[in-house]
Amino acid sequence: MDWYVIAALFGTFAFLLVLSVPVSFAIGLSSLVAIAMTLPLDSAITVVAQRMAAGVDNFSLLAIPFFILAGNIMNQGGIAARLINVAKVIGGRLPGSLLHVNIMANMLFGAISGSAVASAAAVGGTMSPMQKKEGYDPELSAAVNIASCPSGLLIPPSNTLIVYSLVSGGTSIAALFLAGYIPGILMGLSLMIVSGIIAKKRGYPVAPRPTWNEFFSTVWKAVPSLMLIVVIMGGIIAGIFTATEASAIAVIYSFVLAVIIYREVSFSRLPKIILESAVTTSIVLLLIGASMGMSWAMANADLPYLIADGLMAISDNALTILLVINIILLIVGIFMDMTPAVLIFTPIFLPVAMDMGIDPVHFGIIMTFNLAIGIRTPPVSSALFFGGSVGGVSIDKVLKPLVPMYIALIAALAVVTYFPQLSLWLPELVLNYTPS
């Protein structure tokens, strides 16, 4: 065990993050420093370059830029308003109806766009004025939007699950997608329960009961948007196309919907949308490539074996090991975004989990659920900062109403962790998936 290599790896990484160096560069440079301590500098540079190239040289990764582009088109194509209207007619009779509408709209839009930030912007930007007009506390409204905007990251299509599939050695994307439905819905329901209790105590209004005509009319208008999920998942499950091919179809579908049918996006805006998608894609792929270099550096220093031995020394009970892993990931998620966290920690924790008899699909859902809590948690939280700015509320004021939601989310995480059938039931039912 080369302790000094491990110390150099994480010490350099932490130091660069403190200096506000972008995460991808911090990962790449710290990996280079660590590898250069065991190999000549030119060989270290070659290894890092080779690992970065190999990391992004994967057909499955083509799904990510396509889903990003489809999400951006949908984000600007009038989809959010239609999904909000659907959520209104479904959850309007619950106490604090607009809070529940916010949560359900984030679940629907997050699943379609695949982005927590996009969901927070699109849904929160529409809901905040409505909630303010109805007398809702701005801090609570912003907290609900922040807490619920990552819910769609578990509900397919999910870029995080695609990345996990790659890093885990080819875990079935279709199985991961199906496995995310029930935990994703559970995440949203846990937030709705908390929001309902708070709304009941504060006496927030209940929306008028919609007529059947209003209900069917609203749902009908949103059907084209919701059909994107049906087309993608139906095609993948039926074996008509792969996840990568489905992502390309999602782009075509969203283009037709936003540009031709809804006419919310003009042809002149398309170059800007494509450019934004290309920038986001480059960031994600650079993260993936750099993280592959770090994974090699950690493997070269025997870090996965060290952590595995440490965890096994704590206990040989699978439930205890999962608890420790969850605690570590919750702490990691506070400081690191989802993609690099999945890339770095999957090779470390997945072998341990599999040795304890935990299925890789189930573990992927646990990890994604866990890290989704992290992007809501300060100090490094894209959802927190973006949701606060959309709601016009400072971060310090929104933290108090977020606390009971954090508790509910951690409780839901525990349920998903210790009841694997919540994740594995649908893959087993639909795909005849056999847990390992």
Is pLDDT of 1 > 60? no
Is pLDDT of 351 > 80? yes
In eight-state DSSP terms, residue 208 is P
Contact 119, 109 (CB under 8 A): yes
Burial of 214 (0-12, 13-18, 19+ CB in 10 A): middle
Residue 93's pLDDT is: 67
Q: Rounded distance, CA 288 to CA 42, Å?
A: 22
Average pLDDT over residues 44-53: 87
DSSP string, 364-425: HHHHHHHHHHHTTSSSS-HHHHHHHHHHT--HHHHHHHHHHHHHHHHHHHHHHHH-THHHHH
Is pLDDT of 84 > 80? no
**Which value, in Å, is the radius of gyration of the alpha carbons in the chain?**
22
- Spatial CB neighbours of 126, under 8 Å, sequence gap ≥ 6: 80, 81, 84
Q: Rounded distance, CA 331 to CA 314, Å?
A: 18
- Band of residue 110 on the pLDDT scale cut at 50, 70, 90: low
Please state the separation of Cα 407 from the chain's center in Å. Answer: 19
Type of residue numbered 29: L
> Of 59-63, 345-349, 385-389, 393-397, where does the model show the most confidence?
345-349
The residue with greater pLDDT, 411 or 153, is 411
Cβ burial 41-50 (10 Å sphere, 16+ → b, else e): eeebeebbee
Is position 436 within any domain?
no
Residue 369's pLDDT is: 93
Q: At what angle do helices 382-391 and 395-418 cross, to 10 degrees?
A: 130
Structure tokens at 150: 């990552």
Residue 171's pLDDT is: 87
Q: Rounded distance, CA 424 to CA 175, Å?
A: 8
Residue 183's pLDDT is: 94
Q: Rounded distance, CA 341 to CA 322, Å?
A: 17
Is position 135 within any domain?
yes
Cβ burial 122-154 (10 Å sphere, 16+ → b, else e): bbbebbbeebeeeebbebbbbbbbbbbbbbbbb
Q: Rounded distance, CA 112 to CA 61, Å?
A: 18
Please name the residue that has the structure tokens 């509408």. Answer: 101
- Rounded to two decimals, the pTM is 0.83
Helices (H), 168-300: 173-179, 181-202, 212-237, 243-255, 270-300
Average pLDDT over residues 280-298: 81
pLDDT, tens digit, 9 for 90 and up, residues 332-350: 877 777 877 888 888 888 8
The parent domain of residue 384 ranges over: 3-431
Q: Rounded distance, CA 414 to CA 411, Å?
A: 5
Is pLDDT of 357 > 80? yes
CA angle 421, 424, 427 (to 5 degrees): 145
- Number of domains the chain is built from: 1
Is position 16 within any domain?
yes
Contact 416, 189 (CB under 8 A): no
Is position 37 within any domain?
yes
Residue 194's pLDDT is: 92
Is pLDDT of 293 > 60? yes
Q: Please choose, from the candidates 281, 268, 420, the residue with its C-alpha nearest in 3D space to the C-alpha of residue 354.
A: 420
pLDDT, tens digit, 9 for 90 and up, residues 124-167: 777 788 778 778 888 888 888 888 888 878 888 777 888 898 88
> Of 160-174, 208-222, 226-240, 373-387, where does the model show the most confidence?
160-174
Q: Please choose, from the candidates 112, 30, 110, the residue with its C-alpha nearest in 3D space to the C-alpha of residue 375.
A: 110
The residue with greater pLDDT, 4 or 368, is 368
Structure tokens at 24: 């991808």
The residue with greater pLDDT, 314 or 416, is 416
- Quick one: what percent of the chain has pLDDT higher than 90? 12
Is position 376 within any domain?
yes
Residue 41 CB-half CA count within 13 A: 1
The separation between the first and the last C-alpha atoms of the chain, rounded to the nearest angstrom, is 31
Determine the 3-state secondary structure of 336 from DSSP.
Answer: coil
Is position 295 within any domain?
yes
Is pLDDT of 15 > 80? yes
Q: Rounded distance, CA 136 to CA 203, Å?
A: 10
Residue 113's pLDDT is: 61
Average pLDDT over residues 229-245: 81
Average pLDDT over residues 281-303: 80
- Band of residue 407 on the pLDDT scale cut at 50, 70, 90: very high
Mean per-residue pLDDT over the chain, rounded: 83
The residue with greater pLDDT, 391 or 189, is 189
Structure tokens at 388: 């606060």
Q: Rounded distance, CA 413 to CA 150, Å?
A: 14
